[in-house]
């Protein structure tokens, strides 16, 4: 399994939401690269959110790292490395 690319509707919705967030934070389109840098930082926030959501779903649905790895198209070992909290070794 692999992660599918975003649909056109997802791309439009997320792009619009990011630009609205930039406006809400007063990130000016007149400042060179300001919005592009904001979107890059938003990507870091999105990655952190993915990690939190995976951990929550792992607990809620009793998922293994094999399950998670299959969903993300990575090995169970890679899933454990990315999503396990330090000291949290449930497999």
Question: How do residues 13-25 score in pLDDT, each as one tens digit?
Answer: 999 999 999 999 9
- Residue 72 maps to a domain: yes
- Residue 19 maps to a domain: yes
- pLDDT top residue among 11 and 4: 11
Residue 77 banded pLDDT, cuts 50, 70, 90? very high
Spatial distance between the Cα atoms of 39 and 11, rounded to a whole number of angstroms: 13
The model's pTM is 0.81
**How high is the pLDDT of residue 58?**
96
- Residue 1 maps to a domain: no
- Residue 69 maps to a domain: yes
- Residue 13 maps to a domain: yes
- Residue 88 maps to a domain: no
Number of domains in the chain: 1
Print the domain residue range for 56. Answer: 8-83
């Amino acid at each position: 399994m692999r992660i599918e690319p975003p649909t056109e509707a997802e791309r439009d919705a997320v792009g619009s939401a990011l630009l609205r967030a930039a406006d809400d934070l007063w990130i000016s389109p007149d400042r060179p690269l300001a919005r592009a840098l904001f979107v890059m930082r938003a990507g870091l926030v999105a990655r952190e959110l993915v990690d939190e959501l995976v951990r929550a779903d792992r607990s809620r649905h009793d998922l293994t790292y094999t399950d998670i790895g299959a969903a993300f198209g990575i090995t169970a070992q890679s899933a454990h490395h990315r999503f396990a909290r330090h000291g949290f070794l449930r497999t």
